A and B are shown apart, each in its own frame.
Chain A
Amino acid sequence: MSFWSDPIRVANEWLNGLLTDLLPQAWATLIGNVIGVVVVSSFGLILVIFLIWLERKVAARFQDRIGPNRAGPYGLLQTIADIVKLLTKEDSIPEKADKVTFNLAPIVSMIAVLLIWAVIPFAPGWIGTDLNVGVLYIAAVGSFGILSILMAGWASNNKYALLGAFRAVAQLISYEVPMLLTLLVPVLLARSMGMMHIVHDQSLWFIVLAPVAGVIFLVSSIAEVGRTPFDLIEAESEIVAGYHTEYTGMKFGLFFAAEFLHAFTVGVLFAILYLGGWRGPGAEQYPILGMVYLIAKSSIGYFIVMWVRSTLPRIRIDQMLDLNWKVLTPISLALLILTAILDKMFAETALRAPVLLGANVLVVVLSWAIIRVLSRRSRRERKVFKKRPEARAV
């Protein structure tokens, strides 16, 4: 195994040897862990700097602009300039705010996103730690993000911020339900919660076996990030900036960075759970290729997120909750039941993939028909309008 095909393992072995020579075993393990953590989390943080530039550039293209192009080649240093600016901005804490919670909220929001990266398998053997409850862990630490928004909204003691936090309660926890249910589908198909195991099991990508679940996962994840069309928690035209109205300087910057990293993490999770993660030709021999595949596949999900963001307008809160509770949740429950029964009946047979795919198509057709019938009925009921008062010149 040469250094260039698998640099992480080579570096890891070298470091391990060095540490066990110098220190007692317990200390060596601890320091090895610390180094691993610093590598993984700083990878995430450095990625953010690039992602913010990328998103601004792509969003600009969608809107027929050029985007940042002054600082550095292609405007690549724009984010660095922004960080320097944010660092030198005064940090004002409102007099009426709950100080401890107010200061803690941006930190918690960043922690919540960074923690997900601990179980992301980048390539064969490249993983922070391969927890055997990986998916459950992701669901668990993902909810910290909601907590941070609640903390920020509550502690600001500002009515707009509090409204943002209220909306976050309704929206984020609602969309957590279909997200959890569709996270369950890959677990069911792979028969494991370990992230590495799920990737290893995808000789056939799960998007083929469960395409509808994949789409629902992506949609509810977009809602979890709080991006347009689900950006009600920070709707600028309605409630100033939602939960981060009172935040200035670097604390606002942390919320901002956490949101961008979360959006990309959604792409990464989508790639791992449904698009086969690092799998690809030659990835087993040359793990560095696996990393390239993972980034490429994640970009698909991330690009969809950006595309949706710059295409769709914001939807109303009742529409958003209806979409979740009356469309996504029933469909994902039906999918879960169908997948569980059919996968048991056709496991290990050649029919497994076509049957599961057929079930997915069936679910889509059926739910489309039901939605059509229901919406037509409710439209008929709504036909009777009250006469509106006429506007008259006085």
Chain B
Amino acid sequence: MEQNWLFIGVFVAIAGVFPLLPIVIARVLAPRKPNHIKLETYECGMETVGDTWVQFKVEYYIYGLVFLIFDIETAFLYPWAVAYDVLPMFAVLEGVLFIMILVGGLFYAWRKGVLEWS
């Protein structure tokens, strides 16, 4: 088991080195002549107006919240699916009940109009 995670740990390190390599090579090979106009924000040739980091459409955030609920609940279902073979029918139905609560949440959000893009 530790062997497996050692492999993953080494993988993370090396997977980080691989994309770093072309960037470093490019740094050596590529020309570097920055000037003020070149480094301005590119918005189709128009000068940028105002601050970019502002509060924006709230819908995106609400979808994020709905996702969070679903993601966590689905993660809980994985152990249930793995133990499926040894579970009696009753425990399976309990898992189904759990999914039904999830379905209830989805329909609640739906009726509340959270899923409408306005």
Contacts and interface: CB of A to CB of B under 8 A. Distances in A.
Nearest to A321: B117
A45 B18 contact: yes
Nearest to A38: B14
A382 B6 CA distance: 58
A174 B67 contact: yes
A136 interface: yes
Interface residues of A, number: 88
Given A33-B7, A38-B14, A130-B4, A325 B106 contact: yes
A129 B18 CA distance: 19
A110 B43 CA distance: 26
Interface string A173-198: 11011001100100110011100000
B32 A322 contact: no
A337 interface: yes
A191 B56 contact: no
Given A136-B75, A341-B93, A111 B26 contact: no
A115 B32 CA distance: 32
- For the residues of A in contact with B, the DSSP-based class is helix
B115 A326 contact: yes
Given A92-B39, A96-B41, A33 B30 contact: no
A193 B18 contact: no
Given A89-B30, A166-B56, A174-B67, A188 B81 contact: yes
A201 B10 CA distance: 29
Contact of B4 (A115, A131, A177): A131
Contacts of B74: 177, 180-181, 184
A103 B87 CA distance: 48
Given A118-B11, A158-B52, A250-B22, A30 B6 contact: yes
A29 B89 CA distance: 44
Interface in B82-103: 82-85, 87, 89, 92-93, 95-96, 99-100, 102-103
Contact of B8 (A92, A118, A157, A177): A118
Contact of A111 (B3, B15, B40, B56): B15
B15 A87 contact: no
Contacts of A128: 7, 11
A187 B7 contact: no
A180 B69 CA distance: 13
A85 to B, nearest CB: 11
A83 B42 CA distance: 24
Contacts of A157: 41, 52-53
A319 B19 CA distance: 35
A177 B103 CA distance: 13
A169 interface: yes
Nearest to A109: B19
Contacts of B103: 330, 333
Contacts of A176: 67, 71
B110 interface: yes
A111 B66 CA distance: 27
A193 B84 CA distance: 12
Interface string A136-154: 1101000000000000001
B71 A169 contact: no
A87 B11 contact: no
A41 interface: yes
A212 interface: no
A83 B83 CA distance: 47
Given A88-B30, A157-B53, A325 B96 contact: no
27 contacts: A34-B14, A87-B25, A87-B26, A95-B36, A96-B52, A107-B23, A110-B18, A115-B8, A115-B11, A132-B4, A158-B52, A166-B56, A173-B63, A174-B67, A177-B70, A191-B84, A191-B85, A193-B82, A249-B26, A250-B30, A318-B117, A321-B115, A333-B106, A337-B96, A337-B99, A343-B84, A344-B89
Interface of A: 29-30, 33-34, 36-38, 40-42, 45, 83, 86-96, 103, 106-107, 110-111, 114-115, 118, 128-133, 135-137, 139, 154, 156-160, 162, 166-167, 169-170, 173-174, 176-177, 180-181, 184, 187-188, 191-193, 240, 245-246, 249-251, 253-254, 317-318, 321-322, 325-326, 329-330, 333, 336-337, 340-341, 343-345
Interface of B: 1, 3-4, 6-8, 10-12, 14-16, 18-20, 22-23, 25-27, 29-34, 36, 38-44, 48, 52-53, 56-57, 59-61, 63-64, 66-67, 70-71, 74-75, 77-78, 81-85, 87, 89, 92-93, 95-96, 99-100, 102-103, 106, 110, 115-117
Given A106-B19, A162-B52, A177-B70, 7 more contacts: A115-B12, A162-B56, A166-B56, A170-B64, A246-B41, A250-B30, A344-B89
